[in-house]
Amino acid sequence: MKEIIHARGHEHVSAEHASTFEVTTDDYLTPAGDCILAIEADRAPADFDPEFVDACRDADATITVTVEADGYSDSVTGRGDPDLEFTNDRSAVGRTSEYVDDRTIVLEADHAAEGFDRDLVDALADGAGATITLEVTETDA
């Protein structure tokens, strides 16, 4: 099952954060937003299909987030959790930790913003359009 978000990069994309990555519907980005990969997202977690959300709430679910921009692509994989809310109408955040709030879309991600391909980050910093694909798969325990 998939959800797709369309967004764009920004000159202040640095992707230097060590524990999170984020895509936001905001139309601006300050240099302090070092976890943000893209802005002006056309969707947020509150917009996701209820079936997708339910699948992500399975403790055995694997969630893969793929970011594509200007011919570059990189993916990060983590897990779902029964506590995931998917209620935020502004930002989607992936985390390397087990912390959950209304913005969280994936836990225990294998890397955060700082781990994304630098060519992809450079394209986003140049303002490239971005496609963010979230895919959930349930594994049989």
Q: Is the CB of residue 130 less than 8 Å from the CB of residue 6?
A: yes
Tokens of 135: 């895919």
29 vs 96: CA distance, rounded Å = 22
Q: Are 8 and 130 in contact (CB under 8 A)?
A: yes
Q: What digits encode the pLDDT tens for the residues 97-125?
A: 999 999 999 999 999 999 999 999 999 99
Q: Give the pair of three-digit tokens for residue 132.
A: 């963010």
Asked if 17 contacts 31 with a C-beta cutoff of 8 angstroms, the reply is: no
Q: Give the pLDDT band of residue 140 (cuts 50, 70, 90).
A: low
- Phi/psi for 87 (5° steps) reads -115, -10
Q: What residue numbers bound the domain in which 32 lies?
A: 2-138
CB within 8 A of 39, min separation 6: which ones? 7, 8, 9, 10, 23, 24, 25, 26, 27, 28, 29
**CATH number for the domain including 50?**
2.60.120.630
Give the residue ranges of DSSP H helices in the chain. 50-56, 118-125
Q: Strands across the sheet with 72-79, in order?
A: 2-8, 129-138, 61-69, 72-79
Residue type at position 42? D
Task: State the pTM of this model.
Answer: 0.96
The tens digit of pLDDT for each residue in 16-39 reads: 999 999 999 999 999 999 999 999
Mean pLDDT of 54-72: 97
The structural domain count of the chain equals: 1
Cβ atoms 136, 52 nearer than 8 A: yes
